[in-house]
Structure 1
Amino acid sequence: MPVKPPSESRVTSSIKGRILSRHTVQHSGMTWLHYYIKTSDGPRLVKVPQAEYLCFCATKDLPRLQGLPQSAKLRIVDLPLKNFNCDPVTAIYASSLQVFRLVNRGAVDLGIPLFETDIRPEHRYLIERYIALDVEFIGQFEPQVQGHLASFTASRARKSAVDIRLKAISLDFECSMSGELYSVGLYAKETDDEYKKVIMVGSPNPSNRDNSSLSADQVDYIEWVADERGLILKLIDWFAEYDPDIIIGWAVVTFDLALVYRRAKLLGIALTLGRGGTVLSWKVADKYRPETLSLPGRVVLDGIDWLKAAFYRFDSFSLESVSRALLEEGKALPSGPKGILNRGEEITELFHQDKAALAHYNLTDSRLVWDVFKKAQLFEFALERSRLTGLELGRVGASVAAFNNLYLPHLHRAGFVAPAMATSQGLESPGGYVMNSIPGLYKHILVLDFKSLYPSIIRTFLIDPKGLVKGLSESEADNVDGFLGAKFSRDSPILPELIKTLSAHREEAKRENNAPLSQAIKIIMNSLYGVLGSRGCVFHDARLASSITLRGHQIMKQTRAWIEELGYQVIYGDTDSTFVWLGLDPEDTDVDKIGGGLVKTINAKWKNKLAKEMKLDSHLELEFECHYEQFFMPTLRGSTEGSKKRYVGAITNNEGELQLIFKGMEQVRSDWSPLARRIQEALYYRLFSKKDVMVFLQEVVNDLMQGKLDEELIFSKRLRRDIADYTAKSSPHVKAAKMMCDFSGSERFSKRGTKVEYLMTLNGAEPIQYRQSAIDYYYYLTKQLAPIAEPVLGLLNKRFSDIASKQMSLI
């Protein structure tokens, strides 16, 4: 029988919280919006009744649309809105998804464009109210039913600000090679409060391994279950009791949650891991991706996805590689002689012979994920990104959706609806400006960088989708010229104002040392150009994107001209960076003073030029980025022409040590061998330190030919698609993967994402696990060492053949 809490009676009240998940559901013939939120009193389910699906059509097309059979079920409302052709539009509301889809299909058949059909009701409700992460709902508390989540029926909502801690857990499964669950590790740590649990199939057993240090019955964090069914049921009970708001892991959606879902389905278990006993499910069958996961009331954050979203870069995003790079600690299970591909067999061996060691390994993986999230501040970054963009907490990517969330409510209040599709008029915008370089070895190069160049261009030159529509119909005095015939209205531009607001928030975040917020804003601002340049965005128009990039070209060229008028030489420029050579003998000059003076002068010139010629306030800000004490710009291979996007510079760090910065060189490319990358760094270090290069290279060549460097010759690359989908089967890593399948008899090595480690042998690429042929040292000599050594040796008037002549003559 329903129980009415004394503090939650059915009178008009309000509830504040942080939105965890959003859903549109059909119930009793009505469309409801469900919002699971975390409040100061715990989780709550907020229901918004009588929701509708909304789109718009040009009013002139309405009579034809009303001829559709299902039009009788529509609610038609006249609103003071126009499309981008300045035609009046009418709002069309549907009470169910079925009717909405039928109307959309009918409109397509009739050739009638509909606007904003892709905005789901649960998102639109928040977007139109400027609600992002935190919310206040006004309505009534529902009588609580024993065992069910407390509910609230809302009639209104508004944005709010709350300070609520979300409860997280790191989750990791271990399983057999066939996918049968062995154990699940669960870990969390807040301040000094550490939570550890491993649910393990089986019972304590003495270890059969000589190197085991702990017996299973001595590990107090293990909870034993009889079998796989018991593990899943125990996990369901654990979720209900611990009740986490956030689940984190490594490939936690595509592996862990997909795995437990499949195993539960096989065993006929309803996987009720969501809030209020709701089930974990997938919106698209057999598509186990973050965007298809449905887990009401909980947020899932995958470590790999969020590191990439925060623009972290690693050679490999395996947990082992990332944790060693960030934490200087690796997994608890060392790879055997056959490497990581044999780890499945090792886990199975531990399950049967040393469950304590398996529990330790399982829990260590969970802890490493937690520590990576804390070290990289991914929890904070995810929260700030959601708060800024209105995207669901946990949703990665979705830059187009983020743009819509930010832009649409302002567009509607300005009297317009979004276009039905992108407009490009057969034209595409060019990329960023890349200057021809002047190759050579230099001393004292200054890098001057425009701060957030593209957002600054949008703000300065009033570039805006709505502004383009208005500007094309206004007088010259009321607009600003763009490119490809674009004209932008000076009247109340939306996008420049959004940039202004974001910029102010970022400066505040910097002052408060809020790195996650600052990084989130930077990424959002820089994505705005990419969205406008993407055909996947309905606001895409070549005139918009070109007015950004071509203005960038103009700015870079003019900046170079001004710098050279001041007596300095610009040797290279790339998108927003200008590389300035101070001259032959600047040893007695104050380099920092020169750099500061240059940016001050250029910024003043832009301010004066734009005010005088275009009556615009300049928000362009050139900064003194860095000073390379030594710098090398290579030529294109086999040419005297300077390269682009490739260079190496040397600076002295705070410890007084020489530090090298590589851009576009083999050193930063994962498709070169570890040997090539190590030797390249060592060569430039010796060059800039004026140490002997020839003797060092001779030693390397000798060691290579004697087989002393074999461990550094292994290439590592992942399959970007299934082998069957590759058109060029001659790619070395694809050939090696095919051999892995043939020799192992397993097709799992042919699947997308497989890590392929191989060597180049006398018979081509062969996987390290199944190598049959001798290593082709001459390949590494001529295709790996020679290309990276020749640019350095060329500066010394030497040739690689002078060192490797004996070996080269044998080719």
Structure 2
Amino acid sequence: MNPTVSASQILKGRVLTRHVTQQKTGLSLEYVLATASGPVIVEIPEQEHVCFIRTTDEGLLSEHRELSNIRCKRLPLRNFQRENVSALYCSDIRQQRNLIRVAKDQAIELYESDIKAEHRFLIERFIALDTEFIGHYVDAKQGIEPRFIAKKARPAELVQPLKAISLDFECSFSGELYSVGLYGQTENGAVFEKVIMVGQPQEVEVNYIQWVNNEVALIHELVAWFKEYDPDIIIGWSVVTFDLALLYRRAKHHGIALAIGRNNQNLSWKVEDKYRPETLSLYGRVVLDGIDWLKAAFYQFDRYSLEFVSRTLLDEGKAIDNVGNRMDEINDLFANDKPALAHYNLTESRLVWDIFKKTQLFDFAIERAKLTGLELGRVGASVAAFMNLYLPHLHRSGYVAPSTPASDGIESPGGYVMDSVPGLYKHILVLDFKSLYPSIIRTFLIDPKGLVESVQEDDSETVAGYLGASFSRKTPILPQLIKHLSEQREQAKANQDAPLSQAIKIIMNSLYGVLGSRGCVFHDAKLASSITMRGHEIMKQTRSWIEEEGFEVIYGDTDSTFVWLGNDYDEQQVQATGKRLASKVNQQWRQKLTDDFKLESFLELEFETHFEQFFMPTLRGSAEGSKKRYVGTKLTVKGEKELIFKGMEQVRSDWSPLARRVQYELYERLFNHQDVEGYIKSTIEKLNRGAYSEELIFVKNLRRNLEDYTAKSSPHLKAARLLFDATNDESVTKRGARIEYVMTISGAEPVSHQTSPIDFDYYINRQLGPIAEPILSIMNKSFSQVTSNQMTLI
């Protein structure tokens, strides 16, 4: 469908995809916009690729004939060594590549040469997702989107809904397409459901099924559907690496042009046979993979299969009886009950849609793009996000970005982790610094530009850092960016805008990681250390102030301080004490920073959690307290007790269901003063009788193809090899394959082809022993004593 757009001098919309093409007059930038009237292609002609060079190095390029047409212009900009730089403008993509090659061969330093023209145009104008172009329309050809020739652009704030579809394919073992399920919502909120299915119409008609004769017809119908429905966003589960990759291979097999992009563009890949989100090229449409975006929003699951995540979030799973052996059932349904297969296919698409709605991933992805200037749909890319935010301010301050990181092997320490005091406690308070590292950056004016400028300033004009660093007090960039983000987050919280608040939190917390990464040109150990070592100082001083109040600090980790109040407190006293301690420490930091640094403190300690009961274990085989491992009970907002595990086997997917269930029960018993030793003995007795067979199954997915693993000794890899030997099914050796296995006296064996007896000693000594030992140790007993006593009774 092509919307009718009146010829206007102003066009507002959301940038879906970005492109560059070579024209005779230079580079032409193209942006596909979602507008209130439909998709529009914005073209900005006669553009150039820009990078920078030391002005003193200009002459070195003139010796190369292939660079003779490069335009050079001196600008009031400097590098971080305070040397003058000039801008180099390339109107030809080949010319740009030659420039980079010659500079590398001649060891000439280029600055910002890796920034693509289509990105730089937006970055320099502070444009992220929403924009306003000024120009004029040109006559569009029939069957393609309207085209707008732009002269100028500026940021805008829009409420522009985007049209999405959830897509899922069903196929044979060999990859031949059976059907494609499409689920979404129309502009008026109505549900859209469609399944294109290979086969003949059935006696009982299903209104959402469109029947086609064969796979070729299915692909052609899907291409036609994309033109008609015209979604802005495609979502799915492994939608890039599986669904779109499969569709591409099948279309290629049949010689079909897969024109499912806008402007009649074919789906393609930037690197042949590398079917990854970063290599996908789909003109005018955004693809969001459910797994990648749940991880980007910091959702964590034991497994990321659609079945597991949908059961966890929606309390609903796939519409099939045997999920573990679904390929056989899918093949059977295709042969004998195609309407049931269509229902299964459509349900998978709907589950992905419901997960996106439940977790607000649509909104999160949009807010992240609006904040960072990253392409809508791009996950990760913390370094690119930092560059987008920082670079335009840096240029306006008279500098270009470095070409390489400054550090030469000196690395900054990690977060502060205090030695713990192991034991069983009542009333532990957890006091957390809110966004500690961003707060340190903002408070102590830590900034790449400030680090450079402080060299020529008096001590009175700078703030001391670590490793010899100091930072200018004048117009820092990064602290101001954090100030702006912090204010936006507080407003988002006030507006109960969870996706925006979460997006800002993740971005703010990534800033330290970027400065500490060798993949970022701004990386400098002086910057990273001035954050982490300041964090160490803050945590130690905070502990000292709390202990001066008469309380014991039993543990500290990065930004959290664990305070033992003692046993005789009621809930009202606990709350009052936690708030009082946080308030007093905050006041002490404000006073100290004013007196010692003449700085305003943005450090904010919060009373975060009250553990009614708390257990800090020792290191295994030692009396020394563990780190990053503990268990506690706290009250939920509904007043119910909740067990919280940190760093324990309970939160790790490589432990059996039996071990995790037993661990949970052990701590329930410990905190409720119930029999622990008797429960362990009873569990071992039942285990040896074969009572827990279903809870002995380990489940792991292959993270890469089986042949790509270098270490071959992992149990799930051995089980996968045995499964392949038994079935000759190559799918069990491929990335993402779900391997279910048990430990037998012959080692790991797949559940479906187990030939040896269960190794009960393995489950007792390697699974139950490690989780029971910490609890037994505080009872002055050991697991070996309990099990030896038990063995004498069997």
TM-score (norm: length of structure 1): 0.96
Instruction: Work out which of the residue numbers 153, 157, 162 in structure 2 matches 1:157.
Output: 153
CA distance in 1, matches of 2:626, 2:564: 17
Q: Does the aligned pair in 2 maintain the 1:502–1:525 contact within 8 Å?
A: yes
1:181 matched to 2:168: no
Q: Residues 587, 13 of structure 1: CA spacing in aligned structure 2 closer, same or farther, 3 A cutoff? A: closer
Residues 451-485 of structure 1 deviation map (CA, whole Å, 9 limit, x = unaligned): 00000000000000111111122111111111111
Range that drifts further, 734-743 or 272-281? 734-743
Q: Does the aligned pair in 2 maintain the 1:801–1:808 contact within 8 Å?
A: no
Q: How does 1:647-666 map to 2 (within 5 A)?
A: 647-666=630-649
Aligned to 1:147: 143
Q: Does the aligned pair in 1 maintain the 2:372–2:389 contact within 8 Å?
A: yes
CA distance in 1, matches of 2:6, 2:677: 82
Instruction: Work out which of the residue numbers 190, 195, 200 in structure 2 matches 1:198.
Output: 195
User: How far off its partner does 1:204 sit?
Assistant: 2.6
Aligned to 1:619: 602
1:103 matched to 2:99: yes
Aligned to 2:788: 805
Q: 3-state SS of the aligned residue for 2:521?
A: coil
CA distance in 1, matches of 2:792, 2:481: 65
CA distance in 2, matches of 1:383, 1:588: 41
1:222 matched to 2:194: no
Range that drifts further, 241-250 or 762-771? 762-771
User: How far off its partner does 1:806 sit?
Assistant: 5.5
Range that drifts further, 768-777 or 553-562? 768-777
Pairwise CA RMSD of aligned residues? 1.7
Aligned to 1:435: 418
User: How far off its partner does 1:67 sit?
Assistant: 1.6
Q: How does 1:609-648 map to 2 (within 5 A)?
A: 609-648=592-631
CA distance in 1, matches of 2:509, 2:256: 46
Q: 3-state SS of the aligned residue for 1:49?
A: strand
Q: Does the aligned pair in 2 maintain the 1:429–1:549 contact within 8 Å?
A: yes
Aligned to 2:555: 572
User: How far off its partner does 1:741 sit?
Assistant: 2.4
Aligned to 1:53: 49
Residues 420-461 of structure 1 deviation map (CA, whole Å, 9 limit, x = unaligned): 011212201110000000000000000000000000000000
Q: 3-state SS of the aligned residue for 1:759?
A: strand
Q: 3-state SS of the aligned residue for 2:767?
A: helix
Q: How does 1:383-402 map to 2 (within 5 A)?
A: 383-402=366-385
User: How far off its partner does 1:5 sit?
Assistant: 7.3
Q: 3-state SS of the aligned residue for 1:555?
A: helix
Name the aligned partner's letter for residue 160 of structure 1.
Answer: A
CA distance in 2, matches of 1:187, 1:588: 49
Aligned to 1:412: 395
Q: Residues 421, 497 of structure 1: CA spacing in aligned structure 2 closer, same or farther, 3 A cutoff? A: same
Q: Residues 4, 691 of structure 1: CA spacing in aligned structure 2 closer, same or farther, 3 A cutoff? A: closer
Q: Does the aligned pair in 1 maintain the 2:432–2:560 contact within 8 Å?
A: yes
CA distance in 2, matches of 1:766, 1:616: 63
Q: Does the aligned pair in 2 maintain the 1:778–1:807 contact within 8 Å?
A: no
Instruction: Work out which of the residue numbers 233, 241, 255 in structure 1 matches 2:228.
Output: 241
CA distance in 2, matches of 1:230, 1:4: 28
Aligned to 1:317: 304
Q: 3-state SS of the aligned residue for 1:91?
A: strand
Q: How does 1:162-311 map to 2 (within 5 A)?
A: 162-189=158-185, 193-205=190-202, 217-311=204-298
Aligned to 2:778: 795
CA distance in 2, matches of 1:659, 1:618: 35
CA distance in 2, matches of 1:808, 1:466: 68
CA distance in 2, matches of 1:6, 1:571: 66
Name the aligned partner's letter for residue 656 of structure 2.
Answer: S
1:473 matched to 2:456: yes
User: How far off its partner does 1:732 sit?
Assistant: 1.4
Residues 679-732 of structure 1 deviation map (CA, whole Å, 9 limit, x = unaligned): 111110111112222332222112211111011111122233333343332221
Aligned to 2:523: 540
Q: 3-state SS of the aligned residue for 2:68?
A: helix
Q: Residues 505, 654 of structure 1: CA spacing in aligned structure 2 closer, same or farther, 3 A cutoff? A: closer
CA distance in 2, matches of 1:749, 1:809: 43
User: How far off its partner does 1:668 sit?
Assistant: 0.4
Residues 524-552 of structure 1 deviation map (CA, whole Å, 9 limit, x = unaligned): 00000000011111111111101100000
Q: Does the aligned pair in 1 maintain the 2:440–2:534 contact within 8 Å?
A: yes
Q: Residues 40, 806 of structure 1: CA spacing in aligned structure 2 closer, same or farther, 3 A cutoff? A: same
Q: Residues 808, 5 of structure 1: CA spacing in aligned structure 2 closer, same or farther, 3 A cutoff? A: closer
Name the aligned partner's letter for residue 241 of structure 1.
Answer: E
Residues 31-66 of structure 1 deviation map (CA, whole Å, 9 limit, x = unaligned): 111100011111100000011111101111111122
Name the aligned partner's letter for residue 218 of structure 1.
Answer: E
- 5+ residue gaps, structure 1: 206-214
Q: How does 1:16-27 map to 2 (within 5 A)?
A: 16-27=12-23
CA distance in 2, matches of 1:140, 1:547: 51
Residues 238-261 of structure 1 deviation map (CA, whole Å, 9 limit, x = unaligned): 011111111110000111111101
Aligned to 1:511: 494
Q: Does the aligned pair in 1 maintain the 2:25–2:46 contact within 8 Å?
A: no
Q: Residues 5, 770 of structure 1: CA spacing in aligned structure 2 closer, same or farther, 3 A cutoff? A: closer
Q: Residues 236, 809 of structure 1: CA spacing in aligned structure 2 closer, same or farther, 3 A cutoff? A: same
CA distance in 1, matches of 2:237, 2:33: 25
CA distance in 1, matches of 2:25, 2:175: 41
CA distance in 2, matches of 1:430, 1:521: 25
Residues 467-505 of structure 1 deviation map (CA, whole Å, 9 limit, x = unaligned): 111112211111111111111111100000000000000
Q: Does the aligned pair in 1 maintain the 2:681–2:790 contact within 8 Å?
A: no
Name the aligned partner's letter for residue 472 of structure 1.
Answer: V
User: How far off its partner does 1:796 sit?
Assistant: 2.7
Q: Does the aligned pair in 2 maintain the 1:78–1:91 contact within 8 Å?
A: yes
Aligned to 1:703: 686
Name the aligned partner's letter for residue 388 of structure 1.
Answer: L
CA distance in 1, matches of 2:135, 2:682: 78
Q: Does the aligned pair in 2 maintain the 1:204–1:355 contact within 8 Å?
A: no
Q: 3-state SS of the aligned residue for 1:590?
A: helix
Aligned to 1:603: 586
Q: Residues 725, 173 of structure 1: CA spacing in aligned structure 2 closer, same or farther, 3 A cutoff? A: closer
Q: 3-state SS of the aligned residue for 1:56?
A: strand
Q: Does the aligned pair in 1 maintain the 2:67–2:98 contact within 8 Å?
A: no
Range that drifts further, 62-71 or 180-189? 62-71
CA distance in 2, matches of 1:187, 1:725: 35
Aligned to 1:7: 6
TM-score (norm: length of structure 2): 0.98
User: How far off its partner does 1:765 sit?
Assistant: 1.0
CA distance in 1, matches of 2:231, 2:735: 32
Aligned to 1:82: 78
CA distance in 1, matches of 2:92, 2:269: 21
CA distance in 2, matches of 1:302, 1:810: 55
Q: 3-state SS of the aligned residue for 2:508?
A: helix
Name the aligned partner's letter for residue 437 of structure 1.
Answer: S
CA distance in 2, matches of 1:6, 1:710: 66
User: How far off its partner does 1:70 sit?
Assistant: 1.8
> Aligned residues: percent identity?
61
Q: Does the aligned pair in 2 maintain the 1:5–1:144 contact within 8 Å?
A: no
CA distance in 2, matches of 1:706, 1:200: 49
CA distance in 2, matches of 1:69, 1:549: 49
CA distance in 2, matches of 1:63, 1:73: 14
Name the aligned partner's letter for residue 436 of structure 1.
Answer: D
CA distance in 2, matches of 1:550, 1:41: 53
